[in-house]
Structure 1
Amino acid sequence: MTTTTTTAAPATGAPPAWRGLLSGSTVGPLAALLLASAFFAIRTDTFLTGGNISLIIQQVMVVGTLAIGQTLIILTAGIDLSNGAIMAFGGIVMTKLAVDGTVPPLVAILLGILVCTAFGLANGMLVTRISLPPFIVTLGMLNVAFALTHIYSNEETVTGLPSSLTFLGETFPLGRTDVTYGSVLAIALFLLFAYLLGQTAWGRHVHATGNAPESARLTGIPTKRLLLGVYALAGTVYGIAALLLVARTAVGDPKAGQTDNLDSITAVVLGGTSLFGGRGSVIGTLIGALIVGVIRNGLQLMGVRSIYQILITGVLVILAVTVDQLSRRRTR
């Protein structure tokens, strides 16, 4: 009797998390970030100071966290136009419940995150069960969340928040620089999702579903259930972004997040994630968010009008999508 030994084929899919900075999709964005940083370091005296670097991270942590959820959805060849409005509604729910004394502050935070998760789940249900296009679903949900935010808040900003809601906006010294707890949480989230997408079977399934959904389904991946989970998880991330926003501003603002949906898409695209799905990483998204933050901060230090910051960002997005499209054509 003879025995045979079989060797498992190497798994395919997303690259390991530790290789995120070295993967093809992030080399270009990383080079752009370094070049932009070098340019502003030469042109201004304060760009590379610890206080300014900390400020840049604080400025991008909310949009960056939103962009984590956006990355998950774009990797599956979808898009989410509603994330900024969902975040704003979650922030209003947290702050009103906590300030009114309806529930303890920690419970109010949990309920705000759960509300955002419910919005994400609703998006996922419409996409997977009724097969509606993600663009249309999330465009409609943007209006729903926007309207509910203004109805529930009665058009009023919520102030006088308890310390539990603003704790993440507080700072601690790191050398000679003050760093917010919220910045640490945002970076931890990026590392967590880099691991999940790069080192787990779930992450490989997300990439496979975005790259070729029918092929993924035929290999046994429950694509509809996976998509539903991705949208719900993205909603949870939007809830955490709501908490970070509340902590940074110390108010519940019904007008918050009105352009953050586009800013999160910008971060994802500049980070090298393909709008056609299946290729990209949250490490790239972090780099993309930092590119936007560095450019806006650097131009502001140089005294350039804010309208030119928007112009340059728009040009960069078009260039990034063009490069992605050309890359796809070469690989066909």
Structure 2
Amino acid sequence: MLGGRWVKSVIAVLVVLAAVPAGAVAQDTARYILPPGNYGGLPFTANSTDQLPLYDALTPLRGNVTAADIDRYYLPENFEPIGPTTEEDTGRPGLRLVYDQYGIPHVYGKTRADVAFGAGWTTARDRQLLLAVGRYPARVAAADVPGIDAFSLVTSGKTFTPSPQAEALITKQRKLIVKTYGAKGRQIIADAKAYADGLNAWNKKNGRLQDQPPASVNDVIAVTAFIGSIFGAGGGGEASNADLLAKLQRRNGRVRGYRAWDDVMLADDPEAPTTIKHRFDYPVFTGGAPIGSVIIDPGSIQSVDPRQPPTAASAAKAPADPGAIVDAAKAPPGKQASNFQVVSPFRSATNNSLATMGPQLGYYYPEIVQQI
């Protein structure tokens, strides 16, 4: 928390090109920013908020932002350290860890395991607070617990103790990775092990979380599932959609009811704006050809709080926590989304592709992503 409040902001990524003579092609430039800063632990450091002034500096300029302003207020995305640097000793041969003036870690390793270890080390250093509050709630995302928003549960700071069954599910996922991907799967697990070793090494050196079990591959899998639940999850209105289908078929008959439902559920709208012409067909990941879904009885959905014992009273009462619990009988809550602007080389004065993207991520302090 900062000043008694959660700090919420955005990450913006820009590709900006300097003005050049007509017909010439400018050099590609990529810049980005992560306000309020890359460090997300406690107590605050200078790197907790040092990118916030850069982000705020563009606001007064409004429509008068120039390429020079972008160079001044956004960081170069070229993997080079910015300004003065400091090196941190991890005690691991083959690993070199350098922090620039914005506290952005640059990891140099002789082996793949060295780099993964370094990434874990810097994550423990820069995201200690988030790891402490999110380690076990992340299991909710891996288990895909119905009606619970894992992100809201993590950011609420509430304690959560996973059951042995939940932990067994994570272990099953670890084994499934190896079974499904073979040598690549074993490499994924090795990367996760080196990453967890880096987390544990930093914690041990700095005396943090010594009363907690060491980080493990299961933790890495759970947190990965948590991130995937934010950026890779879709839908959320399947129950209410099924209820609508049932009601339309009861009123209009099976065939006409389905046609009416399919019309309003049309996913491929010919009038929708698109940015690409190539068509992508997504495969079905059900383990086989789909054979249909059970249609629910009209009006039969009941919202319950999965954290409470199933009783008649709890079934009749809507969830009391609108943050972490979603009302299954209603449409999914609306969310703010990212935006972007793209210009093709044919419409660009610099004859280059232009892209401005942001906000790509709404976030809190501590941040769920980091610069590394």
TM-score by length of structure 1 reads 0.25
TM-score w.r.t. the length of structure 2 is 0.23
Structure number with greater CO (CA < 8 Å, separation at least 6) is 1
